[in-house]
A and B are shown apart, each in its own frame.
Chain A
Amino acid sequence: MRKNKQNVYLDHAATTPMDERVLKTMIPFFTEVYGNPSSLHAPGQQAHEAVSQARKTVAKLISAHEDEIVFTSGGTESDNLAILGVIKIGGADVKSRLGKDVIPHIISNELEHPAVLELLLVLQKRGEIELTLVKADKDGVLLAKNIAEEIKNNTILVSVMYANNEIGTIEPISDLGKLIIKNRKQTGLTYPLLHTDACQAAGYLDLNVEKLHVDLMTLNGGKIYGPKGVGALYIRRGVRLSAQVIGGGQERGLRSGTQNVPGIVGFAKALDLVQAKREKESARLEKLRDRLIEGLLKIPKSRLNGHAIKRLPNNVNISFMDIEGEAAMLYLDAKGVYCSTGSACASTSLDPSHVILALGMSYEAAHGSLRFTLGKSTTKADIDYVIKVLPPIVEQLRKISPVNLDMEYFSNGNKEKK
Chain B
Amino acid sequence: MNNKKEDKKVDVTNRQGSGSFYSTVVKDHFFHPKNFMEDETGYIADGIGMVGSPACGDVMRVWIKVDPKSERITDLKWKTFGCASAIAATSMMSVMVTENEGMTLDEARKLRPQDITFRLDGLPQRKIHCSVLGDKALRSAINDYLRKVGQTDRIEIEHGRIIDKVLKITDHDIEEAVLEGADTLEKVQDKTKVGTGDPSCIPEVEQLIRFYKEKYYGAE
Contacts and interface: CB of A to CB of B under 8 A. Distances in A.
A127 to B, nearest CB: 18
Contact of A367 (B31, B50, B57, B130): B57
Contact of B79 (A330, A334, A363, A401): A401
A88 B4 CA distance: 64
Contacts of B180: 350
Contact of A401 (B31, B50, B80, B126): B80
A330 B57 CA distance: 20
- Chain A interface size, as a band, is 20 to 34
A57 interface: no
B58 interface: yes
Interface string B159-181: 00000000000000000000011
Interface in A54-84: none
B126 A324 contact: no
Interface residues of B, number: 25
A176 to B, nearest CB: 34
Interface stretch (A268-276, A341-349, A382-390): A341-349
Nearest to A352: B56
Contacts of B116: none
A400 interface: yes
A287 interface: no
A112 interface: no
Contact of B56 (A334, A350, A402): A350
B38 interface: yes
Contacts of B38: 399
Instruction: For the complex of A and B, list the 4 residue pairs with the smallest distance between their C-beta atoms, beginning with the closest.
Output: A345-B83, A402-B79, A344-B56, A326-B83
29 contacts: A322-B81, A323-B81, A324-B81, A326-B83, A327-B30, A327-B83, A327-B87, A331-B31, A343-B83, A344-B56, A345-B56, A345-B58, A345-B83, A350-B55, A350-B56, A350-B126, A350-B181, A364-B57, A367-B56, A367-B81, A400-B33, A400-B36, A400-B87, A401-B80, A402-B60, A402-B61, A402-B80, A402-B81, A403-B59
